[in-house]
Amino acid sequence: MKIVKVRNKEELGKKAAELVTEKVYQLQKPILGLATGSTPETLYENLIRKYKDGKISFNHTTTFNLDEYVGIDKNDSNSYRYYMDHKLFNSIDIKQENTHIPDGLADNLEEECQYYERLIKEAGKIDLQVLGLGLNGHIGFNEPGTPFDKRTHVVELDQSTREANARFFNQMDDVPTQALTMGIGTIMEASEILLLVQGEKKAEILKEVMNGEITEEVPASILQRHPRVTLITDIDI
Ligand code: F6R
């Protein structure tokens, strides 16, 4: 694992944007895997800045997001579709039809997961997958105990994950109990992974992820087996 140490969230965003930009430049039809949450916010701000400065175009880029809540409308400000549209897609030249996020309101969630997997397969391979890290070691919404070979699937969110994300909702009861997520099997097939981890509160779990046993109880520990991971973090490791 390649480690890039930064001082803070701003620098993390800048470094991450440099790597994403490089990838988008290199490839004729880049396919990016994207994450939501607090950590990648400065990445998206920097990508928008680079786009506005004429340094990058996303005209030929396709994206697949990691996850989406079940039961939340895409126009709801808590949906991950809303997050992506407002924090990135609406401010760059990506074609809306090339941006993909699982549909958490699909009538048949299992079919939606299979459809999402098919879309990824048809697109080819994810060239660069951006990941955040949950306090419990999750990547996407693959909670501790999820088999490493899972594809896109429906998950019951851990109480700790719901509590961590409650800050975005009016009250705890509004936080969804389920989500759709790319599986670890899907994530591990990406050619390259960019893991973003910010803030002292993640120091302990990050150490486990990097140096601990590879176990389904710490989902991100599987990244030790991926040949091309870059970690950008402000944590001393
Ligand atoms: C979001 C996602 C999650 C987050 C993780 C960290 O799409 O898949 O795994 O990356 O929960 O979230 P933040 O960055 O808010 O600490």
With a 6 A CB cut-off, is 137 part of the ligand 1 pocket?
Answer: no
Other CB atoms closer than 10 Å to residue 154's CB: what's the count?
16
Q: What is the pLDDT of residue 11?
A: 98
The tens digit of pLDDT for each residue in 121-158 reads 999 999 999 999 999 999 999 999 999 999 999 999 99
**Does the pLDDT of residue 55 top 90, yes or no?**
yes
What pLDDT sits at residue 229? 98
- Ligand 1 in contact with 179 (CB < 6 A)? no
Strands 2-5 and 153-156: unpaired
Question: What pLDDT sits at residue 160?
Answer: 93
Catalytic residue among 112, 117, 127, 143: 143
Question: 36 CA distance to ligand 1 centroid (A)?
Answer: 6
pLDDT digits (tens, 9 = 90+) for 58-96: 999 999 999 999 999 999 999 999 999 999 999 999 999
Give per-residue pLDDT as tens, 172-219.
999 999 999 999 999 999 999 999 999 999 999 999 999 999 999 999
Whole-angstrom distance, CA of residue 138 vs CA of residue 141: 6
Element at 164 (helix H, strand E): helix 159-165
Q: Decide: pTM greater than 0.95.
A: yes
For residue 237, what pLDDT is reported?
86
AA letter at 153: H
Verify whether residue 136 is a known catalytic residue: yes
pLDDT for 119 equals 98
Closest ligand 1 atom to 36 CA: 7
Residue 184 Cβ inside 6 Å of ligand 1? The answer reads no
In this structure, which amino acid lies at residue 223?
A: L
CA distance 164 to 37: 10
Cβ neighbours of residue 133 under 8 Å, at least 6 residues apart? 39, 139, 195, 196, 197, 202, 205, 206, 209, 220
Binned at pLDDT 50, 70 and 90, residue 57 comes out as very high
For the record, the structure tokens of 118 come out as 């098919």
109 Cβ contact partners less than 8 Å away, ≥ 6 residues apart: 70, 154, 180
The secondary element (H helix, E strand) that includes residue 194 is strand 192-197
Could you write out the DSSP letters of every residue in 221-234? Answer: GGGGG-S-EEEEES
> Is 138 a known active-site residue?
yes
Tens of pLDDT, residues 96-111:
999 999 999 999 999 9
Strands 178-181 and 67-69 turn out to be antiparallel
